[in-house]
Amino acid sequence: MRSLSFSINSDKIGIISSTLCLVHCIITPFIFIIKACSHTCCSQSPIWWQSIDYLFLGIAFIAIFYATQKKMKHWLRISFWLSWSLLLVVILNESLQVLHLSNYLLYIPAFLIITLHFYNMFFCKCSNDACCHK
């Protein structure tokens, strides 16, 4: 019998979770429109809907953590963590409403994370220790 090998690719998980996060962000305005048309009393999204942001943020953290544990270019590692940090700040700001920022600002770090995961997955394949270092 052949044994099945299961390996988790952190870049693929990151791409999937960031893409789902973008879909979540894109459909949110439509849910507000539907909600506004059916109810006129509340303008905020439900808590369970807002908590999905934090779920995706957690999944993105785990995917980036494992992706950056491998040997990779230094700028790529920094870009991953800066993008995730920007995503965290935007999501926290949206929840706490500290500053008035456009909701579209959320798309920038999400697209960056997806792009960085794709770059890491396709262009940073190491066959030796020196290929993706620095």
What tokens does 65 get?
């953590």
Mean pLDDT of 1-15: 61
- Read off the pLDDT band of 134 (50, 70, 90): very low
CA distance 17 to 55: 9
Q: What is the pLDDT of residues 31-51, one digit of tens each?
A: 666 555 544 455 566 677 778
> What confidence score (pLDDT) does residue 8 get?
61
Question: Look-up: residue for tokens 């494992």?
Answer: 66
Count other C-beta atoms under 10 Å from residue 56's C-beta: 22
> What confidence score (pLDDT) does residue 78 get?
94
**Side chain identity at residue 19, one-letter code:** T
Mean pLDDT of 99-121: 85
CA distance 52 to 89: 16
Higher pLDDT, 13 or 58: 58
For the cut 70, the answer to whether the pLDDT of residue 61 exceeds it is yes
> What confidence score (pLDDT) does residue 56 get?
84
Residue 42 near residue 75 (C-beta atoms within 8 A): no
Residue 79 near residue 116 (C-beta atoms within 8 A): yes
